[in-house]
Chains A and B, each alone.
Chain A
Amino acid sequence: MVISGDHAVAHAAKLARTEVVPSFPITPQTLIVEQLAEFINDGELDADFIPADSEHSVMSMAIGASAGGVRVFTATASQGLALMHEMLYAVPQNRLPIVMANVNRSLGAASGIWVEYNDSMAERDSGWLQVYVEDNQEALDATLMAFRMAEDRRVLLPVMVCLDGFILSHTVERVEVPEQQEVDLFLPPFVPFNMLDPYEPKLINPIVGPEYAMEMRYQLDRAVDHSREVINEVDEEFSKLFGRRYGGLLDTYRMEDAEFAMLTLGTATGLAREVVDDLREEGKRAGLIKLRFMRPFPFKELCEVCDSLKALGVFDRSASFNGGGPVYTEVAAALCNVPTVVTGHVAGIGGRDITTEHMRGMYDAVERASRGEEVRSVTWHGLRGDME
């Protein structure tokens, strides 16, 4: 099928036999819920579509339905995700395995409808697992896998599938859409864990005082950490059934003997692969790490990959003001006991095109760092005018 990233996600939600879809339109997500509404109205998907009055209500409905014992999917972007912010926090702590696509779009003022990660990065401490995808096929596959990961009894956490606005959401690519029977083998019917059952009354989400709250937060911290194992298992099983493997928390490209590398996420990864190939042809030992999951963050895995790396550049499509980007600070923390020199590279803000030259500029800086040269800790690439 030749479909957009948004439609790929909608196909995944349909193949997952989603039962309730609360929705609210927002560019560039809207194609997802439009497509799901069509599936439902054409009888291709047996689900309840709820047209909500806001994204805050969307997440509230998702919570009600998930606590009510059914599989729930929804999608949002940017301001919509920000409006959900309050409700996002209720989901992980109540262990409700909701799956949501967030089509990344810049948030706030001095922004439009184009891609930036400042919407979903702002939610990285909400307890949701977050996966960033590179292409439309991965958008579909990651959404399918998200249900398996979320619903695994060792996890029971919501998963946010993040895809680049327009670059993926509105761009068509060839996507292999699996057969329903294949997906049914991969994803069994939903079995609720925490549920509002009139036959077995249970109180969900009471007020929790300081005597208990800390233990509950620690349990959540552990659950997010334990999901690392499940993510790898699901990736493995998915590859056996569908022949596509994504590497779990992170993927690597030409890292075997690499001396310097970039760490990217989202669509910038494709561009980075090309630049790595060019550099390799020039005889330079460049590599690439594709970060897939921002939560759980692969602290351990990253240390292993960077074991013999001299320098690593970290790509960020959003800023954590005056400290580079959020991925950079996280990676720097992960590698603080490793000799690898870590630098931050901000690009593509507000949907600005990231060109080959920009990516090449990132690699050049990292290569200089690998030779022991002094380079900026954080560089904004493609900035009109010079940095301060």
Chain B
Amino acid sequence: MSEMQTIKDMPTNDMFISGHGACAGCGMAVAVKNIMRILGADTTVYVPASCLVVISAMYPTSNFRTPYLFTAFENTGAVTTGIRAAQRRRGLSSTVVGLAGDGGTFDIGLQALSGAAERNEDILYVCLDNEGYMNTGIQRSGATPFGAWTTTTPVGTNVEGKREFKKDLMAIIAAHDPPYAASLSIAHFNDFVKKVEKAKNKKGFRFLHVMTPCVPGWRSDPSMTVEIARLAVETGMWTLYELDEGSARTTYKPQTMLPVTDYLKLQGRFRHMENDDIAKLQEWLCAKWYMHYGNDIEQPVCAVFEKVKRVRHPHEEQLHFI
């Protein structure tokens, strides 16, 4: 079987079919539709509590043409482990995939995820990251970025938006030393296709982290979903890389770092942010940028931050980024 290299090689046979209830411009629906095309019919899907279950599995309808199970919020790593164990017993080699949101992965599902990764279960775990509990009406999660408005990080007179930075989930995944882990963007589709295909064909615990812009949660224009995903990468708010059998590799490196305001200004969730907070986020991004891409090329937007080039990521050695 020749590996898929570009979007042109991708099958057009949908396993996640139209008619679902996602919002116009939903980044998650774009990701799931294409992941399911690549994974194909011989796939068993587990979805925890999330937008995805609500938009795709309201009795008596379903948008999945594959076997599909839902039970609860925090157990994607565990249920997929159980399904895989049964398939092993029955001599089946179907891909077992868990499609979870960021709340179900970063927060409430972290324990079961860690267990599955540590045991190196032969499953594919996909985190569809829209940076908040969007299904329950836009609440803050460990994936919500600094400064963002959510209903639990409201813009008040004393506190404005989230005060903590986004959790580095991939560093946690990397600490489990999985056979394969990668970050994906719906604005970089050739990269997307290759990574899903690679994850599909490997054995053991595989993890895909996809940024999925959310129109109501991010207060963005439905037509701008892919553009926002693209700007996330160009500003360093999202980085594209993979961890393949222990070695890390950047799969796309932007030429020049764009100022974070280019990304923020398209989203209402950041509208309230003032210069101090924007600078704080920019400084954090610059440190992240140099950590990922190296500090040989000085980025003009980072010139004002003296310390960022010396900041070392706690997992730098382990991740071997650069």
Contact = CB atoms under 8 A, between A and B. Distances in A.
Interface of A: 19-20, 22, 48, 50-54, 56-58, 60-70, 72, 86-87, 90, 196-198, 201-209, 212
A222 to B, nearest CB: 19
A56 B60 contact: no
Contacts of A198: 41-44, 66-67, 92, 94
A80 to B, nearest CB: 14
Contacts of A72: 82
Given A52-B115, A198-B67, A202-B67, A64 B78 contact: yes
Given A56-B78, A61-B81, A201 B67 contact: yes
Interface in B66-82: 66-72, 74-75, 77-82
A66 B69 CA distance: 12
B241 to A, nearest CB: 27
Interface residues of B, number: 46
Interface stretch (B83-91, B206-214, B277-285, B293-301): B83-91
15 contacts: A20-B82, A22-B78, A22-B85, A50-B82, A56-B112, A57-B115, A60-B72, A68-B83, A68-B85, A90-B71, A90-B72, A198-B41, A198-B42, A201-B64, A207-B54
Interface string B39-71: 001111010000001100111111011111111
B68 A203 contact: yes
B66 to A, nearest CB: 5
Given A20-B86, A70-B86, A206-B57, A57 B69 contact: no
A-B pairs with the 6 shortest C-beta distances?
A68-B86, A64-B82, A53-B115, A60-B78, A60-B75, A61-B82
B190 interface: no
Given A54-B111, A70-B90, A209-B59, 19 more contacts: A19-B89, A20-B89, A53-B77, A56-B74, A60-B72, A62-B82, A64-B46, A64-B80, A65-B86, A68-B90, A69-B86, A198-B41, A198-B66, A202-B68, A204-B68, A206-B57, A206-B59, A207-B57, A209-B58
Contacts, number: 157
B119 interface: yes
Nearest to B48: A60
Given A50-B85, A64-B69, A207 B58 contact: yes
B120 interface: no
A196 B67 contact: yes
Which label, helix, strand, loop or mixed, suits the secondary structure of the A interface? mixed
B114 interface: yes
Contacts of A51: 119
Interface of B: 41-44, 46, 53-54, 57-62, 64-72, 74-75, 77-90, 92, 94, 111-112, 114-115, 118-119
Nearest to A202: B67
Q: Chain B CB within 10 Å — which of A48, A65, A66, A90 has the most?
A: A65
Nearest to A19: B89
A258 B87 CA distance: 55
Given A52-B115, A198-B94, A212 B60 contact: yes
Contact of A70 (B41, B68, B70, B89): B89
A48 B115 contact: no
B90 A69 contact: yes
A54 B113 CA distance: 12
Contacts of A58: 78
A197 B67 contact: yes
B19 to A, nearest CB: 14
Nearest to A86: B72
A50 B58 contact: no
B65 to A, nearest CB: 6
Nearest to B118: A53
Contact of A57 (B46, B83, B94, B111): B111
A263 B297 CA distance: 81
A66 to B, nearest CB: 8
Contacts of A62: 82
A203 B65 CA distance: 9
A275 B226 CA distance: 78
A205 B71 contact: yes
B27 to A, nearest CB: 22
B57 A203 contact: yes
Given A60-B71, A207-B70, A65 B115 contact: no
Most buried by A among B59, B68, B78, B115: B78
Contacts of B89: 19-20, 48, 68, 70
